[in-house]
């Protein structure tokens, strides 16, 4: 029997200007997935979800309806199709959810990435980390109906990831400045990713698109040149935020509170309802979090949790491994 525990952090997709093409990873919180592998004598294989904790009993245990389960299944299908492994095993999944669901914090991506990093390790890191993203995207499709990669890429790879192209998938890793901190705040309400997507327009004004891609270029420049002023100025969103803000009570009050306290910028995390803000120090990031939490409470009557994280995150990693003599 082999047992591997994988961990993958919360992530934020879009990052204001980078709708569907940019995401970053935090260092924590994150989900843990324990993969237990038992070899079988007979040529069959089986994947089952043994336990889920931390989800309030909401997530399905059916492998094909669970993001960690479907991701793992697609990964194993690929290995079997390519005859890289033999179908003589049983794999069971124990999932420890530490991220709130439908929060905009990349909850489904975190579970998928943690499962993948563990199972890939189990098979001697058969694929480089970057290759795992395509499998995790299957989990995203299950979770929200679109093959977006802006959460799963940083959940696996860490730091910032730019998705230059989806077809073919072309991922560009962008290191974070070492002194860049995120505040991620989760107000206690749920916004379904699918609903937040359906609210957007299929067509956008060219003049808004020009502003958006000016900002995307500038954000990439700011990250690579560690220019905090440029990073801050580029955190504008003309495409999603104006439509999604009404789904989050007191959004603009909270955003203004963050910037008043010294945040470089602030926007919706993924499709919401969480918000992220960037700051130049841990202390500012904490002050920003406290101010945002206070405004959610006083203006919207909402409780909220927040996390502070550096952004030079390593992404998904294996946190423990146990090899024991087979007991069957």
What is residue 226's three-state secondary structure? coil
Residue 236 among the catalytic residues = no
| Cα–Cα distance for residue pair 210/139, rounded to 1 Å | 32
- List the catalytic residue out of 138, 140, 236, 241: 140
**Which CB sits closer to a copy of itself, 77 or 170?**
170
Instruction: Tell the smallest beta-carbon distance from residue 80 to a copy of itself (Å).
Output: 32
Name the segment binding a copy of itself (CB under 8 A); options: 42-50, 222-230, 252-260, 291-299. Answer: 222-230
| Cα–Cα distance for residue pair 156/136, rounded to 1 Å | 9
User: ω before 120 within 30° of 0 (cis)?
Assistant: no
Distance, C-alpha 111 to centroid of its chain = 9
Tell me which of 43, 201, 323, 326 binds a copy of itself, using CB under 8 A.
201
**Which CB sits closer to a copy of itself, 51 or 146?**
146
- From the list 9, 2, 3, the residue with the least C-alpha distance to 29 is 9
Contacts of 326 (CB under 8 A, 6+ apart): 1, 38, 39
Residue 140 among the catalytic residues = yes
Between residue 18 and residue 37, which ones bind a copy of itself under the rule CB under 8 A?
A: 18-22
| Cα–Cα distance for residue pair 112/290, rounded to 1 Å | 31
Instruction: Tell the smallest beta-carbon distance from residue 235 to a copy of itself (Å).
Output: 11
Between residue 111 and residue 170, which ones bind a copy of itself under the rule CB under 8 A?
A: 162-165, 170
**Which CB sits closer to a copy of itself, 76 or 218?**
218
Tell me which of 1, 85, 101, 200 binds a copy of itself, using CB under 8 A.
200
Instruction: Classify residue 10 by burial, with Cβ atoms within 10 Å: 0-12, 13-18, 19+.
Output: buried
Tell me which of 72, 91, 218, 231 binds a copy of itself, using CB under 8 A.
218
- List the catalytic residue out of 11, 193, 236, 241: 193
Q: What is the DSSP string of 229-288?
A: HHHHHH---SSSHHHHGGGSTTHHHHHHHHHHTT-SEEEESTTSS-EEEEESSHHHHHHH
Name the segment binding a copy of itself (CB under 8 A); options: 131-139, 196-204, 265-273, 278-286. Answer: 196-204
Tell me which of 130, 211, 256, 259 binds a copy of itself, using CB under 8 A.
211
| Residues with a known catalytic role | 140, 193
| Binding residues for a copy of itself (CB under 8 A) | 17-22, 162-165, 170, 172, 174, 200-207, 209-221, 224-225, 230, 233-234, 239
């Amino acid at each position: 029997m082999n047992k591997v525990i994988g961990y993958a952090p919360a992530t934020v997709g879009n990052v204001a200007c980078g709708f569907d093409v940019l995401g970053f990873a935090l260092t924590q919180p994150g989900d843990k997935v324990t993969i237990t592998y038992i070899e079988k004598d007979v040529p069959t294989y089986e994947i089952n979800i043994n336990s889920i904790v931390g989800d309030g009993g909401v997530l399905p245990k059916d492998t094909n309806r669970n993001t960690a389960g479907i991701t793992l299944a697609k990964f194993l299908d690929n290995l079997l199709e390519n005859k890289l492994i033999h179908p003589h095993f049983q794999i069971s999944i124990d999932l420890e959810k530490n991220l709130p669901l439908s929060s905009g914090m990349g909850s489904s991506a975190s579970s998928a990435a943690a499962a993948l990093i563990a199972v890939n390790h189990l098979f001697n890191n058969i694929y480089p980390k970057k290759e795992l993203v395509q499998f995790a995207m299957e989990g995203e499709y299950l979770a929200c109906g679109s093959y977006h990669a802006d959460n799963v890429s940083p959940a696996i790879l860490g730091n910032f990831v730019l998705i230059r192209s989806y077809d073919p998938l072309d991922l560009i890793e962008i290191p974070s400045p070492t002194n860049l901190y995120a505040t991620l705040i989760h107000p206690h309400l749920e916004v379904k990713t699918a609903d937040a997507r359906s609210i957007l327009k299929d067509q956008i004004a060219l003049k808004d698109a020009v502003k958006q891609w000016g900002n995307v270029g500038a954000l990439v420049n700011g990250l690579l040149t560690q220019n905090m002023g440029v990073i801050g100025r580029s955190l504008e969103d003309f495409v999603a935020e104006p439509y999604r803000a009404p789904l989050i009570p007191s959004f603009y009050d909270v955003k203004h509170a963050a910037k008043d306290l010294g945040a470089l910028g602030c926007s919706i995390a993924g499709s919401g309802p969480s918000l992220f803000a960037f700051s130049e120090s841990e202390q500012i990031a904490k002050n920003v979090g406290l101010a945002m939490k206070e405004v959610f409470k006083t203006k919207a009557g909402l409780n909220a949790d927040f996390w502070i994280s550096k952004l030079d995150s390593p992404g998904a990693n294996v946190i423990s491994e146990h090899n024991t003599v087979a007991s069957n």
